[in-house]
Amino acid sequence: MAKTKPKVSPLAPEAFPTIPPIDGVRVATRACGVRYKGRTDVLLVELADETQAAGVFTKSLTASAPVDWCRKSLPGGIANGLVVNSGNANAFTGRLGEDAVEQVVEAVADRLACRPSRVFAASTGVIGEPLNFKSITDNLDALAADLAPGKWDEAAKAIMTTDTFPKGAVKEAQINGTKVTIAGIAKGSGMIAPDMATMLAYVFTDAKIPAPVLQGILAPICERTFNSITVDSDTSTSDSLMLFATGAAGNADRFSGPDDAALKDFRTKAEAVMRDLAHQIVRDGEGASKFIEITVTGADSDAAAKRIGLSIANSPLVKTAIAGEDANWGRIVMAVGKAGEKAERDRLNIAIGGITIASNGLAVDGYDEAPVTAHMQSPEINIAVDVGVGNGRATVWTCDLTHGYIDINADYRS
Amino acid sequence: MAKTKPKVSPLAPEAFPTIPPIDGVRVATRACGVRYKGRTDVLLVELADETQAAGVFTKSLTASAPVDWCRKSLPGGIANGLVVNSGNANAFTGRLGEDAVEQVVEAVADRLACRPSRVFAASTGVIGEPLNFKSITDNLDALAADLAPGKWDEAAKAIMTTDTFPKGAVKEAQINGTKVTIAGIAKGSGMIAPDMATMLAYVFTDAKIPAPVLQGILAPICERTFNSITVDSDTSTSDSLMLFATGAAGNADRFSGPDDAALKDFRTKAEAVMRDLAHQIVRDGEGASKFIEITVTGADSDAAAKRIGLSIANSPLVKTAIAGEDANWGRIVMAVGKAGEKAERDRLNIAIGGITIASNGLAVDGYDEAPVTAHMQSPEINIAVDVGVGNGRATVWTCDLTHGYIDINADYRS
């Protein structure tokens, strides 16, 4: 059952970014031996009183016990703690799983002197095995004693599973003339491989924004970032994205709603942080050798454009062609056709690396192949498709499908 | 761009079956040089006057020109000819593509002395390149001169693209006391790889059944056979299934409709032929080393069961686990969860090779691993999932995802 430990993805950023502490957030990590040996596997985060919380969770109908817990607690809108373990997903563990979450969350609430419903949780790792929650609760005193500002790289490392590098991102923004910081960490390397991967992302800000407004900001950004990436079309039982606002920056916080003009810069920068994290997950895609951006225009609606984009991004035939550095637009046409959305065959345009290779339903006779070939050999591939029926548009990101994916996911026992 | 020529799939049947001629059907094949050299690439079939026709075609919105032609002609209900070429799909070829179909079909109609609207056509191979229709029309006199009964293996070979073996099946049935024969040929090896593969299946019978009844029989069988298989979730621009009934058997043919009791044996045997052909396509799946049957029960409806089954069958994580002979039921749970259909996590049951390994939402403690491990090492894998909410059921078939798939589909140019 042992997985070959992959080296760092060739598409990884050069280094973990420098991220300043966020006022109102303290972090601790520890090697608790939930499953892994010799590495940290529990992250504890303490959040200031009245920290506002927003979240988006997996659409899987077999969600994990901690996801069920978070969904139940989110309407309260306030978070004082977050506890995440790697090594065990606490999914498909039935009644035992619910108990384990309650045990962990209550023990954390005790240390942070808050209500359990203000403690959020996540677990990522093998599924179907009972979570040894005592390995976590036995270490909570030590974790609580270690709480300190900053340490984002440690936090990002503690939640890794099959990830080959820790993922972080940061931006500053202005709200009503006050500077705020938005910092995030994430993990994920298959869109999900439920026995070892899952998508988790936590974004922290010192901005003062009420929970309902925060949720209204988070949901559409999630659609355009984390919900616009795919590695292998598989969906985890544990996917979680949360945004916590401590309010320590003390900005003026009367907002008409999530679309308030005073929040424009915050929305832009928060999206930049989440897009960066989402891209890093794709860059750590299992076996990935190419980062692929697919933009679909001319669709019936933005949602239709996204479905067409994901149909292209999830096609094994498109992904293997790109792995082979083959500008195989025939497979792109096929993926457009199978998406089930309106497309006008005789108005379809396809460009690769900025060069139009199919236009108005026909291969472009004698297009300049040299720059397309050069583009296909680079690690960043750009595909633009116009389906010729409307104004809908969307951009999605994926990686190629290589022998590395099979190596990581086919556990040859024989 | 050259593909490595794979040897015969390890899952192939031992030999092409012995199939008798069907009265009213004559066949010819020829090496016309549409694209391939040194092999046959055009199939011409002559069908007796008043042969009744039924068909199901690709749901792709970027269907090929011959598919458009067949859809337009099918309401006539009568077929006198069929012409199929391999090497070029005549898809994404715009106005030129429509012209090519008309040229070919009119030339065939001329040789067979019938109306063009009674000639059906298909093309399979590279897409986006104009079809050199003269390579076909120039050979039609020779093809017409060669028409003869039987020769099913030659017919199956002429329509192959990336297939590693020709596919045929036959059954006898009784209608009102008269013996009829049902014979079919098919091709396909990716669920589709649009530049070289596609699913084509043609079934011929001497039964006398009016076209509307024939269509009513074909559509639901297609749902349970060809539309219940997947190799890589990709859908061809050219997929075509047709059923031709020459009427030469002269059975009594007053039927109340497709569900008439007199047609029960015919329906059963026709489904057996089509299921056999569909299975052969999966057995020729690109890179396949395991044939996988997935049965889903306890779903909200049969359609829901099928969507859950296809979600499991299309999951790269499930397919790679099976390639690795790993009884990874966690990935099956994940695939159930992402299907978007009702499932009761705490009533979910999963059996592999007949051994229940997860029951009522929990791993079965201490189940007998030895027979499961032995089953995973065999070439035929059986997965049964009960999702615990209703009476819907469906069976789907797929193959595993191996390095062979990547080898065939990633055209390493560098």
pLDDT digits 0-9 by tens, A78-93? 999 999 999 998 988 8
Candidates A79, A100, A102, A103; CA nearest to A89 is: A100
CA distance A218 to A367: 42
Q: Please report, in angstroms and rounded to a whole number, the separation of the first and last CA atoms in chain A.
A: 11
Strand partners for A182:
A171, A205
Mean pLDDT lowest among A229-233, B198-202, B226-230, B274-278: A229-233
Mean pLDDT over residues B75-81, rounded? 97
The three-class DSSP label of residue B262 is helix
Mean pLDDT over residues A362-367, rounded? 84
Domain A291-409 coded CATH 3.10.20.340: yes
CB contact under 8 A, B338 and A59: yes
Instruction: Copy the structure tokens of residue B20.
Output: 């008798």
pLDDT(A317) > 90: no
Task: Quote the pLDDT of residue A129.
Answer: 83
Q: Is the pTM of this model over 0.90?
A: no
**Cβ(B280)–Cβ(B13) under 8 Å?**
yes
Instruction: Copy the structure tokens of residue A401.
Output: 């499908």
Mean pLDDT lowest among B81-90, B208-217, B358-367: B358-367
The three-class DSSP label of residue B224 is helix
- The ranges assigned to domains in chain A are 25-283, 291-409
CA distance B306 to B284: 22
Of residues A412 and A84, more confidence is placed in A84
**Cβ(A283)–Cβ(A291) under 8 Å?**
yes
**Core vs surface per residue A228-254: b (16+ CB within 10 A) or e:** bbbbbbbbbbbbbbbbbbbbbbebebe
Candidates A17, A15, A11, A16; CA nearest to A292 is: A11
Mean pLDDT lowest among A148-152, A407-411, B203-207, B377-381: A407-411
Radius of gyration of chain B (CA): 22
**Cβ(B239)–Cβ(B189) under 8 Å?**
no
Integer angstrom CA distances of residue A99 from A68, A102, A131, B331: 12, 5, 10, 23
The conformation of residue B405, written as its DSSP 8-state character, comes to: H
pLDDT(A412) > 50: no
CB contact under 8 A, A361 and B92: yes
Query: Which residues from chain B sit within 8 angstroms of residue A386, using beta carbons?
Result: none
Label residue B197 by pLDDT band (50, 70, 90): low
Query: Which residues from chain A sit within 8 angstroms of residue B410, using beta carbons?
Result: 320-321, 323-324, 326, 401-402
Longest CA–CA span in chain A (Å) reads 71
φ and ψ of A267, to 5 deg: -60, -45
**Cβ(B305)–Cβ(B296) under 8 Å?**
yes
pLDDT(B411) > 70: no
Query: Which residues from chain A sit within 8 angstroms of residue B193, using beta carbons?
Result: 317, 331
Among B286, B334, B381, most A C-beta atoms within 10 A, so best to mutate, is: B334
**Cβ(B39)–Cβ(B89) under 8 Å?**
no
Task: Give the count of alpha carbons within 13 A of B403, CB side only.
Answer: 8
Q: Alpha carbon A307 to chain centroid distance?
A: 18
φ and ψ of B266, to 5 deg: -60, -45
Integer angstrom CA distances of residue A112 from A82, A142, A249, A300, B126: 10, 13, 22, 50, 64
Mean pLDDT over residues A15-24, rounded? 98
pLDDT(B96) > 70: yes
Could you report the per-residue pLDDT of B222-259, keeping only the tens digit for each? 999 998 988 766 667 788 999 999 999 999 999 999 99
pLDDT(B3) > 50: no
Mind spelling out the 3-state secondary structure of chain A? CCCCCCCCCCCCCCCCCCCCCCCCEEEEEECCCCCCCCCCCEEEEEECCCCEEEEEECCCCCCCHHHHHHHHHHHHCECCEEEEEEEECCCCCHHHHHHHHHHHHHHHHHHHCCCHHHEEEEEEEECCCCCCCHHHHCCHHHHHHHCECCCHHHHHHHCCCCCCCCEEEEEEEEECCEEEEEEEEEECCCCCCCCCCCCEEEEEECCCCCHHHHHHHHHHHHHHCHHHEECCCCCCCCCEEEEEECCCCCCCCCCCCCCCHHHHHHHHHHHHHHHHHHHHHHHCCCCCCCEEEEEEEEECCHHHHHHHHHHHHHCHHHHHHHHCCCCCHHHHHHHHHHCCCCCCHHHCEEEECCEEEEECCEECCCCCHHHHHHHHHCCEEEEEEECCCCCEEEEEEEECCCHHHHHHHCCCCC
CB contact under 8 A, B323 and A410: yes
B44, B47, B49, B51: CA torsion to nearest 10: -130
pLDDT(B103) > 60: yes
The three-class DSSP label of residue B276 is helix
Mean pLDDT (chain A) is 91
Pick from A128, A336, A377: CB nearest B330: A128
Mean pLDDT over residues A50-59, rounded? 94
CB contact under 8 A, B333 and A59: no
**Nearest chain A residue to B128, by CA:** A363
**Nearest chain B residue to A320, by CA:** B410
Task: Quote the pLDDT of residue B83.
Answer: 98
CB contact under 8 A, A403 and B406: yes
CB contact under 8 A, A401 and B406: yes
Of residues A381 and A190, more confidence is placed in A381
Q: Calculate what percentage of chain B has a pLDDT beyond 70.
A: 95
Task: Quote the pLDDT of residue B408.
Answer: 80
Angle at B132 between CA B40 and CA B8, to 5 degrees: 30
Q: Calculate what percentage of chain A has a pLDDT beyond 70.
A: 95
Mean pLDDT over residues A18-34, rounded? 98
Query: Which residues from chain B sit within 8 angstroms of residue A376, using beta carbons?
Result: 413
CB contact under 8 A, A406 and B409: no
What kind of architecture, by CATH, is found in domain B25-283? 4-Layer Sandwich (3.60)
Q: Residue B14: which residues within 8 A CB-CB, separation 6 or more?
A: none
Q: Alpha carbon B22 to chain centroid distance?
A: 21
* Alpha-carbon gap: B114 to the closest alpha carbon of chain A (Å): 31
Query: Which residues from chain A sit within 8 angstroms of residue B62, using beta carbons?
Result: 333-334, 336-337, 343, 345, 348
Could you report the per-residue pLDDT of B307-364, keeping only the tens digit for each? 999 999 988 889 999 999 998 888 898 889 888 888 887 889 999 999 999 998 788 8
**Cβ(A69)–Cβ(A83) under 8 Å?**
no
**Cβ(B327)–Cβ(B373) under 8 Å?**
yes
Candidates A185, A150, A117; CA nearest to A28 is: A150
